[in-house]
Structure 1
Amino acid sequence: MKTLVLGATTNKERYAYKAIHALTDNSHQVVAVGTKDGMALDVKIETTKVPFIGIDTVTLYLNPKNQQEYYDYIVSLHPRRVIFNPGTENPEFYEILKQNNIEFEVACTLVLLATKQY
């Protein structure tokens, strides 16, 4: 399963970085998009809306206002689900995902991984 971390960062203190670490530790394939080029562990952070193929899950680390420019991009990737981590909850986007038959979950990627529910 391939996961897109949206809102990725090279800052080791941020949850997006910790999620990349936890996902790779749990043998998940990870791709990442953020605002600044760089590497998070062995994962290259892209700064453009790369048309990745085979995305199962998008895990969000962007506040609702910053998500808006990514609505069409996320839908175009046809993920199975989108995870809204704490602070990213967005009822407007939930409706768009429902209209496109994309599951969504309001949860914490780190907790899901730690409890083997990912």
Structure 2
Amino acid sequence: MSKKTLVLGASLKEERYSNVAIYRLRKFNIDTVAIGLREGLVDDVKLHTDLVPFQGINTVTLYLNPKRQEAYYDYIISLRPERVIFNPGTENPEFYKMLEENNIKVEVACTLVMLGTNQY
């Protein structure tokens, strides 16, 4: 099963967790795409600034605070991912409800921990 992942809130800054997550996802050979505020490259992943209609997304991992997530609600739902991971600091009960109403699994977890403990 493919675990193609969209990192939403991706950063070019190496100290950011979203940046580290991209490197780790690629280390595990997980097909990874990313959207952030600035275009660039992290490992072999191009960071997009527009809402690309990616196909085959299994997981969206969020690195945006709840207020910033609002602009992406419809976009994320339109991708029809199997799950959305809410990393620490991104918890958003309002969005959980919308996702669940669209049969999208909500996981409140840390992508880095999930990868490190083989639970991804």
TM superposition score category, shorter chain reference: over 0.9
Query: Aligned runs of 1:24-103 on 2, under 5 Å?
Result: 24-103=26-105
Q: Does the residue aligned with 2:118 lie in a helix, a strand or coil?
A: coil
Cα deviation, 1:26-45, whole Å, max 9, x if unaligned, reads 11000000011111111000
Q: Match for residue 22 of structure 1?
A: 24
When the two chains are superposed, the root-mean-square deviation of aligned CA atoms in Å is 0.4
Cα distance in 2, alignment partners of residues 41 and 116 from structure 1: 21
Look up the equivalent residue of 1:29 and give its one-letter code: D
Note the residue ranges of structure 2 that are not aligned, 5 or more in a row: none
Q: How many residues of Structure 1 are paired with residues of Structure 2 in the alignment? A: 118
Note the residue ranges of structure 1 that are not aligned, 5 or more in a row: none
Tell me which stretches of 4 or more aligned residues in structure 1 moved more than 6 Å: none
Q: Match for residue 115 of structure 2?
A: 113
Cα deviation, 1:53-99, whole Å, max 9, x if unaligned, reads 00000000000000000000000000000000000000000010011
